[in-house]
Amino acid sequence: MNLHSQKNVSAKSVVAVTMLALGIATPAMLSSVGCQSVPMTNRKQLLVTSVEKENEMGLSAYQEVLKSEPLTKNEKATEMVRRVGQRIADAADRPDFKWEFNVIESETQNAFCLPGGKVAIYTGILPVCQNEAGLAVVMSHEVAHAIARHGGERMTYQTAQNAGKTLGSYVMQNQDAKKQEMVLTAYGVASEYGVILPYSRKHELEADHIGVLLMAKAGYDPSEAPTFWERFSGSKQGAAPMEWMSTHPADATRAAALRELMPQAMNDYEGASVKYGLGDPVP
């Protein structure tokens, strides 16, 4: 369904009604439904949720995950994730986000950032990262999905697709649980919370784009990004693919797109080196 089409007024109305019923949107917000721009890429996107509401849903879903997943006892890993995460958070410049970084003990090669800056890294991905710059690739990519509000877009589409058949059951059910499940699904969190919706190629490439610029601004060598993806695609797990592997763009497409951004990223990186000190990025 193409919600960006001007002609598709009825789909917009169905989404609007469902968002109201779910308590995700308010009438005031719906009056301003329309196109917004993604930071750094300026792509136009249609969203019927507000940033505030998404952040609130992100927080509640994050608390749910932390209740049911064991945090790692590896203090060094946790310190590293928080150190790298904080620098990426500074580069993301989102004063409305209340950043939090936790490391979940799990063999799954996964990571996510929920709206509002709620980040989790699974220990299974750390060996593939190899160093702080590798970790910065993963974290900046996930943060990019959140600041670009890809989950909000997915919730918008998902609601539109499901509106007719499930509106009644949504209203009848526990709405908080439903909203948590919705945001977790939309941001590619583990399957026990529902079906993993694969990100589209468009969202993946956009998260790469924003991510490589964020990591550069955070003082991590952006040339690590294509290298990391090559390494990662060589270490694919059969059972539990990372969210971005499920419909990941072809490695060559991904690498070519990243290479195209490298002059801009290197420029940002040089600026950041002054702030963070030369030689600091890669341990």
Of 14 and 120, which CB lies nearer to Zn ion in the complex structure? 120
Q: How far is the CB of 164 from Zn ion (least distance, A)?
A: 29
Q: Does 139 bind Zn ion (CB under 5 A)?
A: no
Q: Does 244 bind Zn ion (CB under 5 A)?
A: yes
| CA 252 to mean position of chain CA atoms | 22
Of 195 and 278, which CB lies nearer to Zn ion in the complex structure? 195
Long-range pairs for 247-251: beta carbons < 8 A, 24 or more residues apart: 247/198, 247/199, 247/200, 247/201, 247/204, 248/201, 248/204, 249/201, 249/204, 249/205
Dihedral of alpha carbons 2, 12, 179, 104, sign: positive
Note whether 87 and 218 are within 8 A (CB): yes
Nearest-CA neighbor of 160 among 14, 273, 8, 4? 14
Which span (63-71, 78-86, 154-162, 200-208) binds Zn ion, by CB under 5 A?
Answer: 200-208
Q: Does 187 bind Zn ion (CB under 5 A)?
A: no
Of 18 and 158, which CB lies nearer to Zn ion in the complex structure? 158
- Ranked by CB distance to Zn ion, the top (closest) residue is 244
Query: Which of 207, 213, 215, 218 contacts Zn ion by CB under 5 A?
Result: 207
Q: How far is the CB of 202 from Zn ion (least distance, A)?
A: 11
Q: Check if 107 is active-site.
A: no
Nearest-CA neighbor of 85 among 137, 32, 145? 137
Nearest-CA neighbor of 210 among 135, 147, 273, 164? 147
Catalytic-labelled residue, pool 142, 181, 224, 243 = 142
Binding site residues, Zn ion, CB under 5 A = 199, 207, 244
Give the residue numbers annotated as catalytic, written as ranges.
Answer: 142
